[in-house]
Structure 1
Amino acid sequence: MLNKISDTIYYFPNQDDKDRPTLGLVCGDQYSLIIDSGNSTQHAIDFLLEIENLNVPPVKYMVITHAHWDHFLGMNEIDATIIVNSLTNELLKKWRNYTFDDKSLHEYVGNNEMSSMCMEIIQSEVPNRASFKLRSPDVIFEDTLTIDLGNKICIIERINATHTDDSTIIYIPDEKVIFLGDCPYGTTTNSLFHYKQSLLLPMIEDIQKFDAELFLLGHESICDSNEMNIFWEELTTASQAVTSSSLENAVACFKLDNKRGPNDNELFFIKAFVNDYIIQSQ
């Protein structure tokens, strides 16, 4: 079911067992805006059915936060103006050329163009796969875009993030709510999960320039300012300890600088920053 943040903002919580990210709904006096369309036709349908139970203005816009399949594969089901940044648009072009029969899906998985989880979700939650073709976005922006839903402003901005280069965030100033998609997360390259250390501080600065009190993340749902600050602190403290591809040296440096050992989150982040050094050296 939809969770209510305020009279004008709702979210459909993430479901890790189905690889479903958080989806958002922002309502103005005239129109509503959806944030991400879900990982499949069925995910989008489930979301729309929940929206139908609300007395809200018609959905006019949909913003896709980045070009990862679990955030956009439901877009065909939603009758709205699709908004993406220019890099997301380029990345989606590949998906618009895909065919979704079993033979093609197995080829994409074999070529590492698609995960096996993505294939399984498509097979089980995208009907009419033989004729399925991903829609094209309607509005393509470069850096920032402002949408007025009727006494409800949404600021849409592309940022360089540790998760993807095409990350888009959505800020609602009067509510001090920001939808981050997956941008604060790391990524996987050559089977190694890593955090792009060079992008960490610029990303945090880009997010913190917005006066936000509630943060919606793709796979954690909602965090308040205190929880988000702890997350940033653990990330930055871990990053400062890593100056090479040596995990042993990074942990020793962390202990020296902080007069304690890393907690579980910090150790996870330290390993991810070490992996970033390994990726950069390959």
Structure 2
Amino acid sequence: MLNKLSESIYYLSNQNDKDRPTLGLVCGDQYSLVIDGGNSVQHAKDFLQEISRLNVPPVKYLAITHAHWDHFLGMNEFNATIIVNRLTHQLINVWRNYSYDDYSLNEYVKSNKMSSHCMEIIQNEIPMRDSFKLNTPDIIFEHSLQIDLGNKICILERIRSTHTDDSTIVYIPDEKTIFLGDSAYGTITNSLFHFKQALLLLMIQDIQKYDADHFLLGHESICDLDEMDVFWRELISCSRAVTSTSLDCAIETFEKDHQRTPNENEMFFLKAFVNDQRLKSKQG
């Protein structure tokens, strides 16, 4: 079931048990824009079925926020102009050259090119896999792009991100709404979950320059400004407490700075920033 944020914005909530991220719909007077293509053919079809129940303009554009499989494998179903930034285009091209038969999928899992869960979803939710091939994106932009849906402007921008190097956000100025995709999350490198400490403040700066009251995230659905401010404050305070590969030192610094023990979220962030320090120390 679609959630209605305004007369012009709807979203399909994330389903983490199925690795399904939030999908967005922005409607102008003439056209509609979909944000992210879903993790499979079935995910996209479920979204399109919900859209068909609305009296909205036809979907003309599909913006992909980044090149992680759960955000683009369903993109063919929308019969829309696909928009990506240049790096996302390069990364999706790798998947365009994949074969999706069982043997090939198993080989990709063995070589860590995809997860076993991704393989299972492809096998269960993408029919005609022997002939499946991702469409080529139609519009490729460098840094930013403005789309007019008819009295409804959408601004797409590639931002600096702790999640991926190719993160695109979609901002709708008159709605004060921003779709962040997964840009505000951490990432996994060498089996370690971490937030890229060097990019944290730059990412927050890129996002906060937009006047937004509503934030749609890939795996939390929707947050308001107060919730995002808490998220940013916790991330920043934890990042400042981490200057080495020692979690004990990080906790000690945090407790000294705040005169209290870290809460559950803060402990998670502290561990993630310590992991980032560990990864950097190995690179050095």
Same fold (TM over 0.5): yes
Partner of 1:227: 227
What aligned pairs does 1:206-221 form with structure 2 within 5 A after superposition? 206-221=206-221
Partner of 1:263: 263
Deviations 1:10-50 (A, max 9, x none): 00000011110000000000000000010000000000000
Residue 250 (str. 1) matches residue 246 (str. 2): no
Instruction: Give distance in 1, aligned partners of 2:263 and 2:18.
Output: 29
Cα deviation for residue 88 of structure 1 reads: 0.2
Residue 25 (str. 1) matches residue 25 (str. 2): yes
State the TM-score, normalizing by the size of structure 2. 0.99
Deviations 1:179-202 (A, max 9, x none): 000000000001000000000000
Instruction: Give distance in 2, aligned partners of 1:244 and 1:281.
Output: 9
Partner of 1:150: 150
Deviations 1:39-78 (A, max 9, x none): 0000000000000000000100000000000000001111
SS in 2 for 1:174: helix
Partner of 2:123: 123
Deviations 1:121-153 (A, max 9, x none): 000000000000111100000000000000000
Instruction: Give distance in 2, aligned partners of 1:71 and 1:93.
Output: 14
Cα deviation for residue 280 of structure 1 reads: 1.1
Partner of 1:172: 172
Partner of 1:134: 134
SS in 1 for 2:48: helix
Gaps of 5+ in 2: none
SS in 1 for 2:174: coil
Q: Which amino acid aligns with 2:240?
A: Q
Instruction: Give distance in 1, aligned partners of 2:235 and 2:42.
Output: 35
Q: Which amino acid aligns with 2:184?
A: P
Deviations 1:159-178 (A, max 9, x none): 11000000000000000000
Cα deviation for residue 281 of structure 1 reads: 1.6
Instruction: Give distance in 1, aligned partners of 2:4 and 2:152.
Output: 16
Deviations 1:65-119 (A, max 9, x none): 0000000000111110000000000101110000000110010001000011100
Partner of 2:190: 190
Q: Identical aligned pairs, as a percentage?
A: 70
Deviations 1:247-282 (A, max 9, x none): 010000001111111111000000000000111122
Residue 53 (str. 1) matches residue 53 (str. 2): yes
Gaps of 5+ in 1: none
Instruction: Give distance in 1, aligned partners of 2:11 and 2:76.
Output: 20
SS in 1 for 2:175: coil
Q: How many residues align?
A: 282
SS in 1 for 2:55: coil
Instruction: Give distance in 1, aligned partners of 2:121 and 2:172.
Output: 32
SS in 2 for 1:39: coil
Q: Which amino acid aligns with 2:74?
A: G
Partner of 1:80: 80
Q: Which amino acid aligns with 2:62?
A: M
SS in 2 for 1:54: coil
Instruction: Give distance in 1, aligned partners of 2:128 and 2:197.
Output: 42
Return structure 1 stretches of 4+ with deviation > 4 angstroms: none
Q: Which amino acid aligns with 1:207?
A: I
Instruction: Give distance in 2, aligned partners of 1:17 and 1:30.
Output: 35
State the TM-score, normalizing by the size of structure 1. 1.00
